[in-house]
Amino acid sequence: MSSQTFGKPDIEHSNPLARTMLKKLDYDQLTNCMRCGFCLPACPTFRETGVEPESPRGRIALMKAVVDGVMEPDQAFEDQMNHCLGCRACEPVCPADVKYGQLIEQTRDAIEDHAKHGAIVSGTRKLFFRGVFPHQNRMKLLGRSLRLYQKSGLQKVARGTGIMKLFPAHMREMEQILPEAASQGVVERIGERYPAKGQRIATVALFRGCIMDVLFADTNVNTVKLLSEAGFDVVIPKTQGCCGALHAHSGEMDQARELARVNVKAFKDAGVDYIVSNAGGCGALLVEYDHLLHEDESWAEDAAWFAKRVVDISTILVDKGRVPAFAEEAAEGAVPEAVAETGAAATITYQDSCHLRNVMKGSTAPRKLMKSVKGAHFCEMRDSDRCCGSAGIYNVTQPEMAGQILEHKMEHANATEAQYLLTSNPGCLLQMKLGIDKHGRGGDMKAMHIVDYLYERIARPGDEA
Amino acid sequence: MAEKALASKLRAIVGDRYYREDMEARVAHSYDGTPMLQALPDGVVYPASTAEVAAVMKVLAEHRVPLVSRGSGSNLCGGTVPLEGGIVMVMHRMNRILEVDLENLTATVQPGLITAEFIAHIESLGLFYPPDPSSMRISTIGGNIAECSGGLRGLKYGTTKDYVIGLEAVLASGEIIRTGGKLMKDVAGYDLTKLLVGSEGTLAIITEATLKLVPPPRAKKTMLAMYRDLYGAARTVSRIIEARIIPATLEFMDNPTIRVVDDFAKLGLPLDMEAILLIEQDGDPEAVERDIALIEEICIAERADRVQVAADREEAERLLTARRSAFTALARLRPTTILEDATVPRSKIADMVLRINEIARKYNVTIATFGHAGDGNLHPTATTDARDHDEVHRVEQAFAEIFEASIELGGTITGEHGVGIVKAPYLEWKVGSAGLDMMKGIKQAFDPHRLLNPGKLFAKETRKRVVLQHE
Ligand SMILES: Cc1cc2nc3c(=O)[nH]c(=O)nc-3n(C[C@H](O)[C@H](O)[C@H](O)COP(=O)(O)OP(=O)(O)OC[C@H]3O[C@@H](n4cnc5c(N)ncnc54)[C@H](O)[C@@H]3O)c2cc1C
Ligand code: SF4
Ligand code: SF4
């Protein structure tokens, strides 16, 4: 058998983007796609539109056509690449194991190199990607201003005066469902170490995330306590930063790599057994740090060390922990009226985080946990494994497609008649809150992070926090 | 790009959104599931009704522009590659189930309907539509009909042609015809329904189909038989049929396939086995029990090393997964996977597998074989790399010789994937020159200006037969 490998086509592209794509795209992956079409039914954008260019097979064909010099990458090409949710539902169904996620990242990276953003967009991008996300303290500051805005009554004023009407509709909608920002993150609230309850099983580190620690700081605290209940010593290295996922997915690869190095160092120094993530979007990039840094020899080994240890909160609880008993009626006030009145079980349903499911392969553990809650009935919603349209900042950049996907998602969610709609990722959680706001069947459905839901239902006598 | 006048006429028929000639649309309709083939169309049209299809075809006929009708482009014979440019017509928007007639047990559907969605609906009504190509989650009913697709249930239940009883189709001229109907009997003239099934988009565009439904089997049982001896496995196939048992499914995997499948799916398959048979029977519970017991006896008599009957549906699913993952596993070995489908009389399965192995060795290429043993339909599958021209050339030579061997053993060049571009040079081997002329005459009658899917079925030149070298 021949083991010769064959490189990229030997052509001089006159188009600069095509030239960069020729340089950046993994040609083997482009060739590995055998165009069987198995990925089509898994792809949300194909399901919504039914047209080939909106499918993984179509997008790969377009990328390959550019690299091969069959077509010049035009605006339509760039738009098509941006239309992809990056949910990676196409990867697990692909018989040829094509690494679509890498191809789309490489393509967006190339596009970004050539992007001529308008002044406002590039200003905002720079501010967020370079100026805010990478810096935990600035995230905090942003959080505090957001909190100030929410607390000071400015929010009410803004909503009342109709200033928000000046913003595009989807931004207004998002503003409505943003939770209250916390001025204190998880470390400020419980310190850098939290001991295991009972016999220690292992020492784990919490990856606190940047958005998580500002908008969902409670969830971070609950994650730590849940880990402790399950028998883990938890450390929260202070020097950790943003995971870089938003950068990577938007084509800012160098920034993403820089952030990865910061995190690898922070956690390597902490010397832990596992690195726990409670946000599917972050976790999926964290488990791929080895791939992200594979060309950087001095970091490759540590990155591999890091990637091997990353695990989602639900998975580590189920696979390694002593899962506490959960009961719908355990915590004071946690009994929904429906249960109290009828004695019937509360119904919970679950929206998979695409990245948790498709990249971290963590779809069974959350379900096991939810099914273990006494007095609650787990009802699988149709297409729970399909992207909700949130996809990082997709709902902001592609509001139309995201809105369409969300509407269909909520039809399925409503059909379960669940009181709790649980998720494992902040983006999905916000999107579900938005969904309930816009398309809910009125009143009694609540979107929650699975950690918060479970933590509230641990059967424990006289809890102190 | 299509001429301006033509484009504006097409837009007037389907609306601006549904006629496209930008590069994005053209590139994304330049290929199908067949490796190594690609050609750009001039435009892509997405009609919503039979009337639109007819109007589009009238315009194209007037301008003498060719048309390729396309379902999901999952075919493996180059059937939807627009070799001569022209327009690709995507049927996806015509995807409705028009009627399920519970009195006549028929369903009438549009061609763009996804097969699995149709099957799910039919099963929800407590009925059964047996054709189940492995691609059913993507492929369309129209594509299934045009390719006469078969599946794992083909042995007992037949293939698509056995379930199509009526069609509506648009001819190259733009005229609309109707054939057959909700009739179980119909001998009024030539059977145009059967002629259109398997016509690969070269005779007409199918716009509606009436399909026969049957009651579902009441019970099902699955087993796996493993052999150290290839002939034992092959003899088992013949002996089961001889014993007048027709299993619902009777599938075969050779040793190289077992190895890759196990390597990927980690099912704990025995790696030292030469062949595995996967057998499923369905029907009335007592009959199923009796058949499975008999089949087990036959397997053991033919020196199966191990026979394993699935205890429950879950275990059965695991076994079926083993077979279904054959293609998956093979596809991961090398970048280019060429899945062929030579078919021989089922008594010749073992001879054919041995011949395939000999030929692979001779050309120094990797070919694993699995397939529908009960139908005699084998899928010798080459794993290669399209960029290695030398190796690909050897693969092509090997396949030419495999088709030759297949015909020599009384078989055919394709059992279910169709002729398209890939098998066109070999068609004459199977049907002879008089047969080929007859087929060309039929094509001429339907499509005198060669507008429908030109370049398919009929090659410019027939391949010369390979001279077989017998040792
Ligand atoms: C992984 C995989 C597994 C497969 N397994 C099987 C299998 O088990 N059995 C099997 O038989 N095949 C199998 N196939 C082949 C393929 O899926 C079938 O041939 C299928 O029927 C094609 O359907 P499609 O909708 O994709 O049609 P397309 O590929 O789009 O078209 C196929 C042919 O039909 C014509 N056509 C499409 N729609 C119409 C219409 N409305 N009117 C007239 N002509 C039309 C096209 O012109 C073309 O010639 C497999 C393919 C893949 C990739
Ligand atoms: S499933 Fe994989 S090989 Fe098949 S078309 Fe999609 S990406 Fe390509
Ligand atoms: S990542 Fe998601 S949206 Fe993008 S091509 Fe894959 S399945 Fe479709």
Question: In this structure, how many other beta carbons lie within 10 angstroms of the beta carbon of residue B144?
Answer: 31
Residue B318 is predicted with a pLDDT of 77
Q: Do A6 and B387 lie within an 8 Å CB cutoff?
A: yes
Last residue of a domain, one of A128, A159, A177: A177
Residue B468 is predicted with a pLDDT of 45
Inform me whether the C-beta atom of residue A38 falls under 8 Å from chain B C-beta atoms.
Answer: yes
Residue B307 in this model has a pLDDT that exceeds 90 = yes
Beta bridge partners of A376: A346
pLDDT tens digits, A69-82: 999 999 999 999 98
Buried/exposed A374-397: b ≥16 CB within 10 Å, e otherwise:
ebbbbeebebbbbbbbbbbebbee
Q: Considering its fold, how many domains does chain A have in total?
A: 4
- Percent of chain B at pLDDT > 70 equals 98
C-beta of residue B260 within 8 angstroms of C-beta of residue B367? no
Rounded mean pLDDT, B92-107:
96
Question: What residue owns the CA closest to ligand 2's atom 3?
Answer: A33
DSSP annotation of B77: S
**Left if phi > 0, otherwise alpha if psi is -120 to 50, otherwise beta: which for A462?**
left
Q: How many CA atoms lie within 13 A of B468 on its CB side?
A: 16
Residue B49 is predicted with a pLDDT of 98
The token pair at A139 is 């995230």
Q: Do A62 and B337 lie within an 8 Å CB cutoff?
A: no
The token pair at B172 is 């190259």
Q: How far is B35 from chain A (nearest CA, A)?
A: 6
- Percent of chain B at pLDDT > 90 equals 75
Distances (CA, A) of B111 to B126, B198, B417: 23, 14, 18
DSSP string over B101-123: ETTTTEEEE-TTSBHHHHHHHHH
Residue B227 in this model has a pLDDT that exceeds 90 = yes
Domain assignment present for A89: yes
C-beta of residue B326 within 8 angstroms of C-beta of residue B253? yes
Residues A346 and A437 occupy one common structural domain: yes
Residue A130 in this model has a pLDDT that exceeds 70 = no
Inform me whether the C-beta atom of residue B22 falls under 8 Å from chain A C-beta atoms.
Answer: yes
Residue B324 in this model has a pLDDT that exceeds 50 = yes
Residues A287 and A208 occupy one common structural domain: yes
Grade residue B183 by pLDDT with cuts at 50, 70 and 90.
Answer: confident
Residue A129 is predicted with a pLDDT of 57
Rounded mean pLDDT, B24-51:
95
Does ligand 2 come within 6 angstroms of the Cβ of A97? no
Inform me whether the C-beta atom of residue A171 falls under 8 Å from chain B C-beta atoms.
Answer: no
Domain assignment present for A379: yes
Distance A94 CA to ligand 2 centre (A): 5
| End-to-end C-alpha distance for chain B, whole angstroms | 54
Residue B132 in this model has a pLDDT that exceeds 70 = yes
Residue A330 in this model has a pLDDT that exceeds 60 = no
Residues B190 and B101 occupy one common structural domain: yes
Share the mean pLDDT of chain A.
80
What's A69's domain CATH number? 1.10.1060.10
Please report how the helices B230-242 and B349-362 are oriented relative to each other, as an axis angle in degrees rounded to 10: 150
Please give the Cα distance from A28 to B298 (Å, whole number).
47
Residue A125 is predicted with a pLDDT of 57
Nearest to B243 by CA among B302, B284, B300, B295: B295
Inform me whether the C-beta atom of residue A58 falls under 8 Å from chain B C-beta atoms.
Answer: yes
Beta bridge partners of A419: none
C-beta of residue B403 within 8 angstroms of C-beta of residue B136? no
Residues B316 and B343 occupy one common structural domain: no
Inform me whether the C-beta atom of residue A61 falls under 8 Å from chain B C-beta atoms.
Answer: yes
Domain assignment present for A3: no
Q: How far is B240 from chain A (nearest CA, A)?
A: 33
Domain assignment present for A461: no
Residue B382 is predicted with a pLDDT of 94
What's A309's domain CATH number? 1.20.1050
Residue B265 is predicted with a pLDDT of 72
Does ligand 3 come within 6 angstroms of the Cβ of A402? no
Question: No. of H helices and E strands in chain A?
Answer: 26, 11
Residues B290 and B268 occupy one common structural domain: yes
What's A399's domain CATH number? 3.40.50
Residue A257 DSSP SS3: helix
Residues A209 and A301 occupy one common structural domain: yes
Residues A333 and A225 occupy one common structural domain: no
DSSP annotation of B452: B
Please give the Cα distance from A376 to A379 (Å, whole number).
10
Domain assignment present for B460: no
Residue A333 in this model has a pLDDT that exceeds 70 = no
Please give the Cα distance from B39 to A165 (Å, whole number).
49
Residues A334 and A405 occupy one common structural domain: yes
Which of A423-437, B45-59, B208-222 has the weakest average pLDDT?
A: A423-437
Measured on CA atoms in the order A38, A410, A221, A176, is the torsion positive or negative?
Answer: positive
Domain that holds residue A50: 16-114
Nearest to A201 by CA among A230, A237, A235: A230
Residue A338 is predicted with a pLDDT of 47
Look at B286 and A163; give whichever has higher pLDDT: B286
Inform me whether the C-beta atom of residue A119 falls under 8 Å from chain B C-beta atoms.
Answer: no
Q: Do B337 and A34 lie within an 8 Å CB cutoff?
A: yes
Residue A1 in this model has a pLDDT that exceeds 50 = no
Domain assignment present for B160: yes
* Best of A26, A29, A30, A36 for a ligand 2 pocket test (most atoms within 8 Å of beta carbon): A36
Distance A32 CA to ligand 2 centre (A): 8
Residues A293 and A350 occupy one common structural domain: no
Does ligand 3 come within 6 angstroms of the Cβ of A88? yes
Domain assignment present for A223: yes
Residues B106 and B193 occupy one common structural domain: yes
Distances (CA, A) of B323 to A287, B241, B288, B376: 31, 21, 21, 16
Residue B1 is predicted with a pLDDT of 57
Q: Do B74 and A36 lie within an 8 Å CB cutoff?
A: yes
Please give the Cα distance from B397 to B389 (Å, whole number).
12
Distance B137 CA to ligand 1 centre (A): 11
Q: Considering its fold, how many domains does chain B have in total?
A: 4
Q: How many CA atoms lie within 13 A of B465 on its CB side?
A: 12
Domain assignment present for B147: yes
| End-to-end C-alpha distance for chain A, whole angstroms | 64
Measured on CA atoms in the order A151, A154, A159, A165, is the torsion positive or negative?
Answer: negative
Domain that holds residue B369: 333-432
Domain assignment present for B390: yes
The token pair at B464 is 């010369």
Q: Do B92 and A50 lie within an 8 Å CB cutoff?
A: yes
Residues A163 and A266 occupy one common structural domain: no
Last residue of a domain, one of B258, B289, B322: B322
Nearest to A96 among B73, B90, B331 (CB): B331
Residues B85 and B103 occupy one common structural domain: no
Residues A67 and A158 occupy one common structural domain: no
Rounded mean pLDDT, A120-140:
56
Residues B293 and B385 occupy one common structural domain: no
Last residue of a domain, one of A294, A319, A344: A319
Last residue of a domain, one of B322, B354, B372: B322
Residue B32 DSSP SS3: coil
Closest ligand, as measured to the CA of B91: 1
A-chain residues within 8 Å CB-CB of B337?
A: 34, 96
Residues B251 and B154 occupy one common structural domain: no
Which residue in the block uniquely carries the two structure tokens 């993150």?
A185
Residue A240 in this model has a pLDDT that exceeds 90 = no
Rounded mean pLDDT, A227-242:
87
Inform me whether the C-beta atom of residue A70 falls under 8 Å from chain B C-beta atoms.
Answer: yes
Inform me whether the C-beta atom of residue B110 falls under 8 Å from chain A C-beta atoms.
Answer: no
Q: Which residues contact A51 (CB under 8 A, 6 or more apart)?
A: A58, B25, B28, B46, B90, B92
Q: Do B35 and A52 lie within an 8 Å CB cutoff?
A: no
How many contacts (CB atoms, under 8 Å) link A and B? 97
Q: Which residues contact B371 (CB under 8 A, 6 or more apart)?
A: B251, B252, B341, B377, B378, B379
Look at A392 and B213; give whichever has higher pLDDT: B213
Residues B307 and B233 occupy one common structural domain: yes
Residue A324 is predicted with a pLDDT of 84
What residues of chain B, 341 to 370, have a C-beta less than 8 Å from chain A?
Answer: 364, 366
DSSP annotation of A358: I
pLDDT tens digits, A165-207: 545 555 566 666 676 666 678 777 788 888 888 888 988 988 8
Inform me whether the C-beta atom of residue B388 falls under 8 Å from chain A C-beta atoms.
Answer: yes
- Percent of chain A at pLDDT > 90 equals 20
Residue B450 in this model has a pLDDT that exceeds 60 = yes
Atom of ligand 2 nearest to the CA of A96: 3
Angle at A279 between CA A276 and CA A280, to 5 degrees: 100
Residues A313 and A344 occupy one common structural domain: no
Residue B20 has phi, psi (to 5 degrees) of -130, 140
Domain assignment present for B437: no
Share the mean pLDDT of chain B.
92
Residues A389 and A415 occupy one common structural domain: yes
Domain assignment present for B466: no
Q: How far is A183 from chain B (nearest CA, A)?
A: 47
Nearest to B315 by CA among B278, B367, B362: B278
Residue B319 is predicted with a pLDDT of 78
Tabulate helix, strand, coil % of chain A (nearest 5).
55, 10, 35
Last residue of a domain, one of B90, B121, B138: B90
Please give the Cα distance from B267 to B226 (Å, whole number).
14
Q: Is the pTM of this model over 0.95?
A: no
The token pair at A410 is 């909520």
Does ligand 2 come within 6 angstroms of the Cβ of A37? yes
A-chain residues within 8 Å CB-CB of B135?
A: 36-38
Residue A276 has phi, psi (to 5 degrees) of -100, 130
Residues B103 and B81 occupy one common structural domain: no
Residue B320 is predicted with a pLDDT of 79
Please give the Cα distance from B167 to B210 (Å, whole number).
6
Residues B84 and B121 occupy one common structural domain: no
Residue A18 is predicted with a pLDDT of 92
Look at B143 and B466; give whichever has higher pLDDT: B143
Where is B60: in which H helix or E strand?
Answer: helix B50-63
pLDDT tens digits, A16-61: 899 999 999 999 999 999 999 999 999 999 988 889 999 999 999 9
Residue A98 is predicted with a pLDDT of 93
Residue A366 DSSP SS3: helix
What's B147's domain CATH number? 3.30.465.10
Q: Do B366 and A1 lie within an 8 Å CB cutoff?
A: yes
Domain assignment present for A280: yes
Inform me whether the C-beta atom of residue B92 falls under 8 Å from chain A C-beta atoms.
Answer: yes
Last residue of a domain, one of A114, A137, A164: A114
C-beta of residue B208 within 8 angstroms of C-beta of residue B108? yes
Rounded mean pLDDT, B75-84:
95
Domain assignment present for A462: no
Domain assignment present for B172: yes
Q: How far is A359 from chain B (nearest CA, A)?
A: 18
Residue B368 is predicted with a pLDDT of 92
Strands A310-312 and A274-277: what pairing? Answer: parallel
Domain assignment present for B392: yes
What residues of chain A, 264 to 303, have a C-beta less than 8 Å from chain B?
Answer: none
C-beta of residue B457 within 8 angstroms of C-beta of residue B439? yes
Residue A3 is predicted with a pLDDT of 39
Where is B154: in which H helix or E strand?
Answer: helix B154-157
Domain assignment present for A10: no
Please give the Cα distance from A206 to B61 (Å, whole number).
67
Residues A246 and A283 occupy one common structural domain: yes
Q: How far is B444 from chain A (nearest CA, A)?
A: 32
**Left if phi > 0, otherwise alpha if psi is -120 to 50, otherwise beta: which for A420?**
beta
Does ligand 2 come within 6 angstroms of the Cβ of A257? no
Residues A304 and A404 occupy one common structural domain: no
Residue B168 in this model has a pLDDT that exceeds 90 = yes
Does ligand 2 come within 6 angstroms of the Cβ of A101? no
Residues B186 and B102 occupy one common structural domain: yes
Residues B196 and B101 occupy one common structural domain: yes
Residue A464 is predicted with a pLDDT of 45
